[in-house]
Structure 1
Amino acid sequence: MTVKWGIIGPGRIADAVAPDFAHVPGAELVAVASRSAERGADFARRHGVDRVHTGYRAILDDPDVDVLYVATPHPQHRAIALAAIEAGKALMIEKAFTVSSVATREIAAAARNRGVFVMEAMWTRFFPAVVRLRELVAEGAIGEVRSVQADLGVRNRSGADDRFFSPELGGGALFDLGVYVVSFAQMLLGSPGTVAASGALTPSGVDLEESILLGWPDGRSAALQVSLQCAMPGSARVIGTEGWIEVPPRFHHPDRIVVRRHGADPEEIVLPATGRGYAHEIEEVTRRVAAGETESPVMPLADTVAVQDVMAAVADRVGMVPEEGPADLR
């Protein structure tokens, strides 16, 4: 069975993802939707896409599209996702999934009620190196995991008109970078009992950086940092009672991990990704949709909701007020 894909929003991330469809047997990219006819046509030409829809509503009505990859700015995800679910389209929604816990729960409930597959595009979880990390943790290779540390920062010198600094377009460190560190910690430790955070905001209310400390009732913890104004290593460490696992930079798309067990030499495990690394999440969605499943066990909706809850708490602690986008599907 060939699962036919469409892309909504031919921007920077869609440009990066599109070439990896060629690495996934059974997946075919057949359509793209843009509010700009010119941008849509240019994207289609560069990536060999057959059909261009001007406006988002048209691709929802395209009977030849099975799955939609939603690659628009975060505040637009809710309106697009709810309309797509109503149209019966399976979805892979770019991270951050939405800009609020309310919207995330709304999408998850709609998907479950309609029996439609929906997954957050958290590519990190599907990298072979991260899959192996989770296997080692489950096997008890480093004992009980007690702490996670992760950082991700870029020295962004884009102009004030860049999406990264636009509250209307979901800009800021939390939604673009924080989602990685929070999801990584949630993947290994579950949902925290406490969330502490500090950060800095621009005059327009966009967050430039955060330091986040998550706590669990049994003493486990996660120390996380993200920034749009300071470059950071982009590494992660998973610390257990019998050793630790290092994920070298950049931890959110790694090709290796280093296992350090007490009393043993370090073990480097090298597991390169396919293509640019997006092929693994595309393969997961394609396989699940072809099998008639409605969620991914690797990135279930419950995990997406849990991550969004933490980000909502962080936003509240630093004084950020995320803005939901308009429900305009033209």
Structure 2
Amino acid sequence: MAGEPVRWGILATGGIAAAFTADLADLPDAEVVAVASRSAESARIFAERFGIPRAYGDWDALARDADIDVVYVATPHSAHRAAAGLCLEAGRNVLCEKPFTLNLREAEELVALARRSGSFLMEAMWMYCNPVIRRAAALVRDGAIGEVRAVQADFGISGPFSPSHRLRDPAQGGGALLDLGVYPVSFAQLLLGEPSDLTAQAVLSAEGVDLQTSALLSWDTGAQALLHCSIVGDSPRTASVTGSRGRIELPHSFFHADRFVLHRDGHAPEEFTADPADGRVDSFRHEALEVMRAVRAGETESPMVPLDGTLAVMRTLDALRERIGVRYPGETGEPALAPA
């Protein structure tokens, strides 16, 4: 594929699918060749909007389109298992929006499908591909702030959302934790790996999803993470990591940060900012570039967003939901246990 455009298929036609497709248009070696929706009319309108040559009124037709190099799955997360699974079974490479699935069981099924078929699979955790976040994580790994002692991260939005909105609909995997809390959890695990213990408290809606959740994650090293998410209050959306010899502070919208400040004992604060040459950090271009790099290289997963890391985050989210008492329709099996 060297020198040839990477051909994308877009599965779903909502707001995030539109934003991702618009960002692909800025990449000269990316070509969107098809879009699919369960509504033929929705697919047609989306295709006309973005100049996409093929529009399908069902997911299966997109999955069977051999002219597609990689499919971007942008459905509500309650449909990720079905949509991504369909594409993987057809031999397509897949970039699947976050949260990866509703639960760990579904995530394990998708990873097993990808590994069996030899297809590329990645969670669309754009935060992990953000150059500023990667620089901050590298500084932590290199010991710039000493041993990590604490992580703080929050993501809250004010709403209000009606009971029928997807964020409050149990059938669509509603609630703050999966939609927003996945970012604080993923940030903490990017820096510290999977926790050894956790606890959580939440306020639940009448429908049974979490309106806001606070969690405390702990590691055997003595490190802790205090995390919060909400769909009933607009929080600062900041993050920080504190070490034995300093700290790093990320500003509002930490998950697509364009800067951070490094505080080190005995030194003046240092501000690190995004390199203009990297392009906008509040875009999907960085994760798209990583997918295209990996697909061209014949890789089946990304070292930036490894599948085992995605599974570890899903394991934590399952355990947190067990603690706060949130279960979605159709979920079966034993309750989630604390991560090992």
Determine if the TM-score, normalized by the shorter chain, exceeds 0.5.
Answer: yes
- Partner of residue 64 from structure 2, selected from 61, 64, 70: 61
CA root-mean-square deviation = 1.3
Aligned AA for 1:157? P
Moved more, 62-71 or 267-276: 267-276
Aligned length: 325
Rounded Cα–Cα distance in structure 2 between residues aligned with 1:241 and 1:45:
55
* 1:315 corresponding residue in structure 2: 321
* Correspondence list, 1:176-187, <5 A: 176-187=179-190
- Supply the distance in 2 between the matched residues of 1:18 and 1:82 (Cα, whole angstroms): 21
Shift of 1:14: 0.8
Partner of 1:297: 303
- Name the amino acid aligned to 1:206: V
What is the deviation of 1:41? Answer: 1.6
Q: Choose the corresponding residue for 1:90, options 93, 97, 110.
A: 93
Q: Work out the percentage of aligned pairs sharing the same amino acid.
A: 46
Aligned to 2:222: 219
Correspondences of 1:124-273 after superposition (within 5 Å): 124-271=127-274
Which stretches of structure 1, 4 residues or longer, exceed 4 Å deviation after superposition? none
Deviation at 1:49, TM superposition (A): 1.4
User: What SS is found at the alignment partner of 1:219?
Assistant: coil
Provide, for residues 3-24 of structure 1, a one-character-per-residue CA deviation record: whole Å limited to 9, x for no partner: 1111111111112211111233
Q: CA deviation at 1:187?
A: 0.4
Deviations, residues 37-59 of structure 1 (Å, cap 9, x unaligned): 22112211222211101010110
1:318 partner amino acid:
I
TM-score by length of 2: 0.93
CA-CA distance at 1:64 after TM superposition: 0.9
Q: Is 1:274 paired with 2:285?
A: no
Q: How big is the shift at 1:196?
A: 0.3
Q: What SS class does the counterpart of residue 256 from structure 2 fall into?
A: coil
Q: CA deviation at 1:158?
A: 2.7
1:328 is matched with which residue? Answer: none
Deviation at residue 324 of structure 1 after TM alignment: 5.3
Aligned partner of 1:105 in structure 2 is 108
Structure 2 match to 1:70:
73
- Which runs of 5 or more structure 1 residues have no equivalent in the other structure? 326-330
Q: Distance in 2 between matches of 1:265 and 1:37?
A: 58
* Deviation by residue 1:42-97 (Cα, 9 ceiling, x = unmatched): 21122221110101011011111110101001111112222211111000000000
Question: Would you say the 8 A contact 2:41–2:57 is kept in 1?
Answer: no
Aligned partners of 2:327, 2:162: CA distance in 1, in Å? Answer: 22
Q: Deviations over 1:108-150 (max 9, x none)?
A: 1111121110000000111111111122112221112222110
Shift of 1:316: 0.6
Deviates more, 1:14-23 or 1:219-228: 14-23
Counterpart of 2:195, as a letter, is: P
Following the alignment from structure 1 to structure 2, what is the Cα–Cα distance between the partners of residues 8 and 210?
A: 30
1:240, distance to aligned residue in structure 2 (A): 1.0
Matched with 2:337 is none
1:173-207 per-residue CA deviation (whole Å, 9 max, x = no partner) reads 01110110100001000000111000011111111
CA distance in 1, matches of 2:263, 2:247: 5
Separation (CA, whole Å) in 2 of partners of 1:224 and 1:313: 14
> Unaligned regions of 5+ residues in structure 2, if any?
332-340
Q: Classify 1:298/1:323 alpha carbon distance in 2 versus 1 (closer, same or farther; 3 Å).
A: farther
1:25 to 1:139, Cα distance in 2 relative to 1, 3 A: farther
Amino acid at match of 2:279: T
